[in-house]
Amino acid sequence: MVTPDIEDRENHQGCQLFDVQSALQKVGGFGTFQILSTSILISGFCTGSFLAYAISFLELNPKYYCIDPKKGTEYECTRDDFCGTNIKYRIDWNDHTSLYNWVETLDLTCTPKEQIGLIGSMLFAGWAFAAVWLPRLADVFGRRTVYLYSMIGHFVFFGAIILSHSRVLTTVLMFLLGMSSVGRATVGYLYMMELSPLKQQTTIGTLLQIFNTFVTIFACFFFYYISKQWQWFEIIGLVINLIVIVCVVFMPESPKYLYAQRRWDDMRKNLNVIAKLNKAPAFKGLFDKEVNPAVGEDQKLNGTISDLVKIRRHLINLVILVAVWIASSFNFYLINFQLKYIQGDVFVNTLVSAISELPATILAGYLYQKIGIKITLVMMFGVAIIGSISLLSLGDNHVGLIPVFILLAKSGVSATFNICYLANAQIFPAIFSGTAFGICNIGAKLATILAPLMAEVNPPAPMIIFTCTAALAALLSLSIITKPDEKKGDKSVDESLLTPGQTSQNK
């Protein structure tokens, strides 16, 4: 390990001192290491989507034909026609919507709908439960350690779900999978962002959401063209999960986390791992806060949850981002659950819905990069509101345009979802950014549990609630504080608060 000796530390005057961003640039900027680490962590993020985004296919009822006992003829029917009766039925396995999924594996044919819905809801319940405490562990023990063990747990529970033939066991496993998903998604996202220079973070965050959307698109093509067997689709995600675990074993800790913890020698050691892959010179420098004790806000940060409360800026931002997360998550899944009421082919509707997210996600990342978080959130929530209001006012008289209105609303909240992840990773100091991420996820996932229930309420109530939550979140977004309030004595500027492309000088 290369470390400065005592004499170097004492004779630092006139030498360059490094912070996180300048140190990352010193060891190669966005080089080979960042390309590999980003690819690995994006893959890890997407493994959960192989199950979460495919639930609509896993619970999709096949095409049934009932037999008329008097005439002996067949007619197309639904489960409501034969469940609880003596009517005989058969499944038309030649129809492309008849999949070998949970309906067969878990015997869901005549299971009450609320019990079927509970399977998916338990994923979000487990997520909300673990969000209370697991992200905090990433602020205490490090991103890499918590992420690695979360991915191991995710692999075990994921594999058990594939093997399970019991509805009750699968429901329990979904709760456990939701718990491990906090580490996979929340901690993994922070870990990925902190391994890359600030300038590239918006781009890689947007790429993650794009690849995540492609899982849904791939699911449509897989079940339509490749195989009707749900296990084979999930095994693909399971194999990727295992590959990610093996790769993370050899990855270094987040430099930003080590910097926040003032573990200077460990930070130099991990930077040299990055430098080696980037073919950059070994890092031997000193860090600014290693030489000069922290001043201003940094003196107040001990990594405890109380830091989020006693510093006004962080408290305000946390409250606002919780509201934005709730609006984005609840509305996103509310739209997803309403898709089943759109007339047409389920594969086409799902495919069009997923594709509609791509331009919105890309646009949101671009606007976030150029004009910052506040205006971008307002604009994207505005797009969602236009879609929901159009559905409320024009839906009854323009039935053919209903899919357009719904997809417009979904594009807006898909974009705000991307911004939520970007903002959480950049707007809070690394010493408790995981904790802040977890608090936001608690609100988001608790609200998401209610989304499938609200989707079953008679219109126009669902879209009215959609519009109101989006409008409230848009208004609150205008109050996000992106720089310290000097009038409150908060004079330090944390670079993690700056929109990519900005510096403390041009703010």
Average pLDDT of the segment spanning 36-47: 98
Average pLDDT of the segment spanning 341-358: 77
Q: DSSP class of residue 252?
A: P
Which residue type is seen at 122? M
Length of the chain as a residue count = 507
Task: Give me the pLDDT at residue 150, please.
Answer: 98
Residue pointed to by tokens 């929530």: 381
Task: Give me the pLDDT at residue 451, please.
Answer: 78
The more confidently predicted of residues 21 and 504 is: 21
% the chain with pLDDT above 90: 51
Residue 253 and residue 147 in contact, taking contact as beta carbons nearer than 8 Å: no
| Distance of alpha carbon 234 from alpha carbon 245, whole angstroms | 17
Identify the CATH number of the domain defined by range 17-52+114-292. 1.20.1250.20
The reported pTM is 0.82
- 122-163 residue pLDDT tens: 998 999 899 889 988 998 899 999 999 999 999 999 999 999
| Distance of alpha carbon 126 from alpha carbon 173, whole angstroms | 9
Task: Give me the pLDDT at residue 502, please.
Answer: 40
Please work out, in degrees rounded to the nearest 5, the angle formed at the alpha carbon of residue 315 by the alpha carbons of 327 and 362. 40
Q: Where residue 77 falls among pLDDT bands split at 50, 70, 90?
A: very high
Which residue type is seen at 254? S
Helix (H, G, I), strand (E, B) or coil at 12: coil
Q: CA-CA-CA-CA torsion for 172, 175, 181, 186, nearest 10 degrees?
A: -170
User: Would you list the domain boundaries of the chain?
Assistant: 17-52+114-292, 64-98, 301-488
Intra-chain end-to-end CA distance of the chain, in Å: 38
Q: Where residue 116 falls among pLDDT bands split at 50, 70, 90?
A: confident
Residue 271 and residue 283 in contact, taking contact as beta carbons nearer than 8 Å: yes
Domains 17-52+114-292 and 301-488 share a fold: yes
Q: Where residue 185 falls among pLDDT bands split at 50, 70, 90?
A: very high
Cβ neighbours of residue 277 under 8 Å, at least 6 residues apart? Answer: 28, 31, 32, 33, 36
| Distance of alpha carbon 139 from alpha carbon 303, whole angstroms | 7
Four-way CATH pick for 301-488: 1.20.1250.20, 3.40.190.10, 3.40.50.970, 1.10.150.120: 1.20.1250.20
**Alpha-carbon distances of 434 from 49, 104, 246, 307, rounded to whole Å:** 21, 40, 23, 13
Phi, psi (degrees; rounded to nearest 5) at 234: -70, -30
Average pLDDT of the segment spanning 184-203: 93
| Distance of alpha carbon 161 from alpha carbon 164, whole angstroms | 5
Residue 487 CA, chain-centre distance (Å), reads 35
- 276-311 residue pLDDT tens: 999 999 999 999 888 886 544 555 555 566 766 777
H helix intervals, 53-133: 55-58, 79-82, 102-105, 113-131
Nearest to 244 by CA among 55, 447, 397, 37: 37
For residue 11, give both structure tokens: 């004779």
